[in-house]
Structure 1
Amino acid sequence: MCGRYALTATPEDILEFLSVIQIDDFPKRYNIAPTQPILLIIAGEKAAPGSNLPERRAMLARWGFLPGWVKDPKEFPLLINARAETAVGKASFRAAMRHRRVLIPASGFYEWHRPPKDKAKETGEKSQAYWIRPKRGGIVAFAGLMETWSSADGSEMDTAAILTTSANSMMSAIHDRMPVVIDQQDFERWLDCKTQEPRDIEDLLKPAQADFFEAIPVSDLVNKVSNMGPDLQEPVSVAVKPVKPTPPSPGDDQLSLF
């Protein structure tokens, strides 16, 4: 899952990385939380100057996906993530997977390693927050979905969710899910909802390479939405680092005579 992330890049860096035609100035954001406005990159309707490819536009949407058929948002769960493996078959995300795929630029995301309740009770181990960022630095683009929800009075709200997939070997020591990262060379395929159906871009919905991200333990300041400064990403020491569970060997569940 992805419940918090950050975008601290400059508008100029985003323009260059995502080939957006225009983007307004905005502050660095170190603790982006659900229901807040987030930056999306979408495919435009016309071709970019000097190119046959559609221009890309930036827009804002609420982080918290609302399908068009929802009547009362207060009675609908907050969908901040969509499972990549099942999104195209889910009523909530089916139309967006076919027609409204977007890119969500980020500098990295936060995840929590939460020990099993019985272990935490026995050892006193607490949840540990991690700042997950690309080792090479720079910006990443999460795979996203958007939907414009219309209320009964005719008002509209753009909403979005981040697609997640199974964790890679690095992330699995912390959590079993992670955001889907779209590589720069695949931006056009992902955004092209006219010729690229969900089955055509299924190969993009995979975990990032194990050495793509690095995990930095940080304090629990990120737990509070009101904390929004760069100190959220300051490293802290941890008593015990998370260890990826080791699957049982064949026969481990059988009694031994020796």
Structure 2
Amino acid sequence: MCGRFSLTASPEEVADFFDLEAVDDFPPRYNIAPTQPILIIAGDISRAPGDNRSNRRPLLVRWGLIPSWVKDLEKFPLLINARSETAAEKASFRAAMRHRRVLIAASGFYEWHRPPKELKEKPVPYWIRPAQGGIVAFAGLMETYMTPDGAEIDTGAILTTGANAAIAPIHDRMPVVIGPQDFERWLDCKTGEPRDVADLLKPADQGFFEAIEVSDRVNKVVNAGPDLQERVAESRKPVDSRAEPRAVKPASPPDQLKLF
């Protein structure tokens, strides 16, 4: 599961990494939570023949995918993640896997290790970032939902996979990472079907991420400063890979419609 992440790179760095014409200005975001806007990169098949400009476009979408067929939002769960192993068959994600695959810009993500219940200890948060720094692209899905009053809401979810050996002691799931060499193939929903990109839905290489134990201040959405990513003294007890780790469920932000 991925329940919180961060994007602290500059708009210029994001544009360069994803080969975009430009990205609207935005501040560093250290604690992105469900229902808040997230920056995605989508492919654009409307480019005219002979147009050599980038065919990728940045968009802001609500984190929490809503399939087009949903009738009652009050009864529908918040889909912030999609299991990559089953997304192509699940009703909630099937159409998006075929027609609306996107990239999600991030600097890293947070995950919580939950110690065994008998220890009666609090979950331990970790900031998990690329070991070499920089931006990372999560595999994502997008849907545009139309409300009963006719308003359109662009929504998205992060695809997850089984954790690699480095992350598994913290949590058993992690976001799918798409490398720059595979951006075009992942975004090509015109000719590429889900089976054509199935090989990309795998854990990141063993040394790609590093995990840093951080303060539990990240648990609260209102805390959104760079101090959230500062290393704290590691817990006395080592992470137990035999435990059943679960992520802390994030609280909804106080203002779901505010972009930044």
* TM-score, structure 1 normalization: 0.90
Query: Which structure has the highest helix share of the two?
Result: 1
Report the Cα distance in structure 2 between the residues aligned to 1:49 and 1:216, rounded to whole angstroms: 47
* Residues in 1 aligned to 2:77 and 2:219: alpha-carbon distance in whole angstroms: 21
Is the 1:66–1:159 contact (alpha carbons within 8 Å) kept by the matching residues of 2?
Answer: yes
Query: Counterpart of 1:175?
Result: 171
Name which of 187, 191, 197 aligns with 1:201: 197
Residue 130 of structure 1, aligned match among 126, 132, 157: 126
After superposition, where does 1:50-61 map in structure 2 within 5 Å? Answer: 55-61=55-61
Q: Which has the higher contact order (CA 8 A, sep 6+)?
A: 2
Partner of 1:33: 33
Question: Larger Cα Rg: Structure 1 or Structure 2?
Answer: 1
* Letter of the structure 2 residue corresponding to residue 243 of structure 1: D
Residue from 232, 237, 240 that aligns with 1:240: 237
Find the aligned partners of 1:168 and 1:100 in 2 and give their Cα distance.
Answer: 26
Whether 1:211 aligns to 2:207 is yes
Matches of 1:126 and 1:48 in 2, distance apart?
55
- The separation in 2 between residues aligned to 1:59 and 1:228, in whole angstroms, is 22
1:105 corresponds to which residue?
105
Structure 2 CA distance, aligned partners of 1:196 and 1:140? Answer: 22
- Between the aligned partners of 2:3 and 2:57, the Cα distance in structure 1 is 25
**Paired residue for 2:225, among 215, 229, 241?**
229
1:62-73 map, 5 Å: 62-73=62-73
After superposition, the C-alpha distances for 1:199-252 in whole angstroms (9 at most, x for unaligned) are: 000000000001000000001010000000000011011212213239xxxxxx
TM-score, with structure 2 as normaliser: 0.90
Runs of at least 5 residues in structure 2 that lack an aligned partner in the other structure: 244-260
1:45 corresponds to 2:45:
yes
Provide Cα deviations, 1:161-216, integer angstroms capped at 9, x if missing partner. Answer: 00000000000000000000000100000000011100000000000001000000
Alignment partners' CA distance in 1, 2:200 and 2:52: 23
Are 1:7 and 2:3 an aligned pair? no
Question: Within 2, Cα distance between the matches of 1:76 and 1:101?
Answer: 22
Q: CA deviation at 1:85?
A: 0.1
Matched with 2:116 is 116
Q: Which stretches in structure 1 are left out of the alignment for 5+ residues?
A: 247-258
Q: 1:29 to 1:160 in 2, by over 3 A?
A: same
Identical columns (%): 67
Q: Is the Cα–Cα contact under 8 Å of residues 63 and 80 in structure 2 kept in the other structure? A: yes
SS class of match (1:5)? strand
Residue 80 (structure 1) aligned with residue 77 (structure 2):
no
Amino acid at match of 2:226: P
AA in 2 matched with 1:186: D
Count of equivalent residues:
242
Superposed, which structure 2 residues align to 1:140-155 within 5 Å? 140-155=136-151
Question: Residue 146 of structure 1 contacts residue 158 of structure 1 at CA under 8 Å; is this kept in 2?
Answer: yes
